[in-house]
Amino acid sequence: MITVEEAQNILLSHQLPLKVEALPLDQCYGKVLQEDLFADRDFPPYNRVTMDGIAIDHASFSTGQRVMNIEGVAPAGAPQLSLEDRHACLEVMTGAILPSGTDTVIRYEDIQTEGGQATIQEENIVQGQNIHYQGEDRSAGDLIVNKGTVISAAEIGICATIGKSVVKTSQLPKVMVISTGDELVDIQETPEAHQIRRSNVYRTVSTLGELGITADTAHLPDDKEEIRRRLSGFLESYEVIMLSGGVSKGKFDFLPTVLASLGVQKLFHKIKQRPGKPFWFGTHPGGSVVFALPGNPISSFMCMQAYFIPWLNHSLGRSNYDLPHAILSESIQFKPDMVYFAQVKITFSRDGRLLALPIEGHGSGDLANLVDADGFLQLPRGKDEFEAGEAYPLILFR
Ligand SMILES: Nc1nc2c(c(=O)[nH]1)N[C@H]1C(S)=C(S)[C@@H](COP(=O)(O)OP(=O)(O)OC[C@H]3O[C@@H](n4cnc5c(N)ncnc54)[C@H](O)[C@@H]3O)O[C@H]1N2
Ligand code: MOO
Ligand SMILES: [Mg+2]
């Protein structure tokens, strides 16, 4: 049995080859950026008026002038105007380019306009006020977003501003999600007394969907030959195979044997952790990777959250990120020499700290308990008592 750290390292050293695809901007949300983004112009590209009002040469104000002729109006979207008489002013709108010959903008609230003249009614007028200066935020050529960033609304705004209508992103892998086990029926069916519905598949597909992946699904009975025949086909056509069930010690837990017979190289089987101990991971010479997750719902869910998602992010070239930590709000005892991924409910204390309340449940088959939990708190080995007030890494559910 290997440690959590060893399993994580093995996963990180078995990545899918990165494939880059250029996508229209409206399909890029949530994707991992595969190019650096640079400013094509200064941000902002011109001295931008930030208040509706008048633009003046401050020197005329500071030498005592309060009434000024209005020479004209500069709307946003018009080429730059020029102040002809430095004792006069120009009306300017928010977003307009600051007229040449002016250096200060005064809001309509601080003036009165009548008969083609503006009268300044505010004495506190600072030179340069109400102007967003050209290049103040970023200069043309500056690196604005690094390759490896997950594209969110902020990055979409940058792409649009710099005219990137097509963006290089990491291509998502083709994934097959498979349930195994003769006790499982589909969700439209009414189970017999000895049967249950195959919920793992639906939960796994929903997490994948949240990651942008549209997965295919299948079901395999506890029949060695059929598992072998159908898995062999899936290994040809998918980059990632995600199985659940059939990896422990039972008489019908055929997956480790069948996978080996299909040439899938086992990289690990069993991790010193609860839940999720019998997690099996391997690679096929054809290039696909196999995540054979334990069948218990919390176990397969935990392995997905703690291993698959970081592995996927790494495969897609996402920049490294650290897990946040949360503070235990009640103590927990856990004696086995294993990492314990404790289900916790997350709240904020009144002084803004992230608190994790343990929600114990009835073990790795208790999928109803997940409804009350928000994440797993990763409690290390080498300790039996985890006291209230101690902070540990938090994996928030997706
Ligand atoms: N003698 C031992 N028995 C078990 C051990 C062990 O070390 N020695 N480990 C236990 C642990 S821990 C886990 S976790 C499970 C893992 O079992 P498998 O991966 O072989 O999974 P199955 O036996 O097929 O199923 C386990 C459990 O999960 C339910 N299940 C499976 N698939 C689904 C699904 N798609 N949706 C909902 N529920 C599912 C299944 O009905 C079983 O109840 O093994 C322990 N045993
Ligand atoms: O390791 Mo198993 O996942 O506890 O039920
Ligand atoms: Mg089993």
Which residue segments constitute the domains of the chain, with CATH numbers given?
A: 4-19+172-315 (3.40.980.10), 20-43+136-170 (3.90.105.10), 48-132 (2.170.190.11), 325-396 (2.40.340.10)
Which residues keep their CB under 5 angstroms from ion ligand 3? 248, 250, 253
Closest atom, ligand 2, to C-alpha of 298 = 3
As for ligand 1, residues whose beta carbon falls within 6 Å of it are 179, 181, 183-184, 196, 198-201, 244-250, 253, 277-278, 294-297, 299, 364-365
And the tokens for 290?
Answer: 């196999």
As for ligand 2, residues whose beta carbon falls within 6 Å of it are 274-277, 294, 296, 299, 364
CA-nearest residue for atom 41, ligand 1, is 183
Q: Determine the Cα–Cα distance for residues 178 and 155; give it in Å rounded to an integer.
A: 35
Residue range 18-38, pLDDT digits in tens: 999 999 999 999 999 999 999
And the tokens for 330?
Answer: 């009640």
**Rounded distance from Cα 177 to ligand 2 centre (Å):** 20
Nearest-ligand number for the alpha carbon of 299: 2
Q: Determine the Cα–Cα distance for residues 289 and 10; give it in Å rounded to an integer.
A: 12
Nearest-ligand number for the alpha carbon of 341: 2
Largest CA distance in the chain: 96
pLDDT (0 to 100) of residue 114: 97
Q: Which residues contact 17 (CB under 8 A, 6 or more apart)?
A: 287
pLDDT (0 to 100) of residue 60: 98
Q: Specify the DSSP class assigned to residue 239.
A: S
CA-nearest residue for atom 46, ligand 1, is 248
Between β-strands 273-274 and 339-348, what pairing exists: parallel, antiparallel or unpaired?
parallel
pLDDT (0 to 100) of residue 291: 98
pLDDT-derived band at 320, boundaries 50, 70, 90: confident
ipTM of the complex: 0.98
**Rounded distance from Cα 245 to ligand 1 centre (Å):** 6
Q: Which residues contact 89 (CB under 8 A, 6 or more apart)?
A: 54, 55, 56, 68, 69, 70, 71, 83, 102, 118
Stretch 222-241: mean pLDDT: 98
**Rounded distance from Cα 86 to ligand 3 centre (Å):** 86
Residue range 139-189, pLDDT digits in tens: 999 999 999 999 999 999 999 999 999 999 999 999 999 999 999 999 999
pTM beyond 0.80: the answer is yes
For the chain, give the mean pLDDT: 97
